[in-house]
Amino acid sequence: MASSSSYNSPCAACKFLRRKCLPGCIFAPYFPPEEPQKFANVHKIFGASNVTKLLNELLPHQREDAVNSLAYEAEARVRDPVYGCVGAISFLQRQVQRLQKELDSANADLLRYACNDMPPPSLSVPPQMPQRSFIARFGNESASGGGFYRLLLQPPPPLTLSLILFLGLILRISMIEEEKEEVTC
């Protein structure tokens, strides 16, 4: 949080405003010279005077969070002049609603599956056959042993509740990652 002096380069704000960066510069700790676009966006959207007033009204430990928020909002407004960060918030809210509906649907499917998987208490359950695959021969047999072979599989074993929940979690994570990629592009 050291401010710029005569032998250091001026902060991004003073450089942008073409003024000398004094040792007590309010912008220096938050707008380093390596990030000129950060201040340019904040200045374009909020104005340097308004940002100065805001930072002076805040306690020193609150200023960094305020600058980060201003920089985020300014960048969002530069990218999307109509909606700004509200567009991103709306997108995320729609995503949460869609995922909640999907989760509700998956939970309903799980409930149906769990109810169908449990036999009524008065009925006995027949033992399950071993889950092995086998090869059966179909077609006409010729002298040369023709015909064709086909791999037959028994139906897969029933999914456990924990496996279904795990698969649902994997699906949700992959969908969120895909949508994050869409947002960043």
pLDDT tens per residue, range 73-108: 999 999 999 998 888 888 889 999 999 999 988 888
- Looking at 36-40, 79-83, 138-142, which range is the least confident one? 138-142
Indicate whether 95 belongs to any domain. yes
Tallying the residues shown for the chain, one arrives at 185
Contact status, residue 78 vs residue 42, Cβ threshold 8 Å: no
Higher pLDDT, 45 or 159: 45
To which residue do tokens 């509700």 refer? 104
- Of residues 110 and 174, more confidently modeled: 110
Q: List the domain range (segments joined by +) for residue 28.
A: 12-79
- 145 burial (CB, 10 Å; 0-12 / 13-18 / 19+) is exposed
CA distance 150 to 132: 14
Same domain, yes or no: 72 and 100: no
Q: What is the mean pLDDT of the chain?
A: 77
Q: Is the pLDDT of residue 155 over 60?
A: no
Are residues 17 and 48 part of one domain?
A: yes
Residue 5 is assigned to a structural domain of this protein: no
pLDDT at 157: 54
Domain assignment present for residue 125? The answer is: no
Is the pLDDT reported for residue 53 higher than 60?
yes
Contact between residue 94 and residue 101 where contact means Cβ atoms under 8 Å apart: no
56 and 107 share a domain?
Answer: no
Q: Provide the pLDDT confidence category of residue 173 given band limits of 50, 70 and 90.
A: confident
Tell me if 168 is assigned to some domain. yes
**124 within a domain of the structure (yes/no):** no
Do 115 and 64 share a domain, yes or no?
Answer: no
How many domains are there within the chain?
Answer: 2
| 42: in domain | yes
Task: Give yes or no for residue 133 having a pLDDT over 50.
Answer: no
Is residue 150 pLDDT above 50, yes or no?
Answer: no
Asked whether residue 4 is domain-assigned, the answer is: no
Query: pLDDT confidence of 125, banded at 50, 70, 90?
Result: very low
Residues 74 and 89 in one domain: no
- Co-location of 93 and 51 in the same domain: no
106 and 176 both lie in a single domain: yes
Rg (CA), the chain: 32
Same domain, 174 and 105: yes
Do residue 58 and residue 74 come from a single domain? yes
What's the pLDDT score for residue 147?
46
Parallel/antiparallel/unpaired status of strands 148-152 and 134-138:
antiparallel
* Range 29-58 average pLDDT: 95
- Answer yes or no: is 6 within a domain: no
Q: In this structure, are residues 39 and 16 in contact, taking their beta carbons and an 8 Å threshold?
A: yes
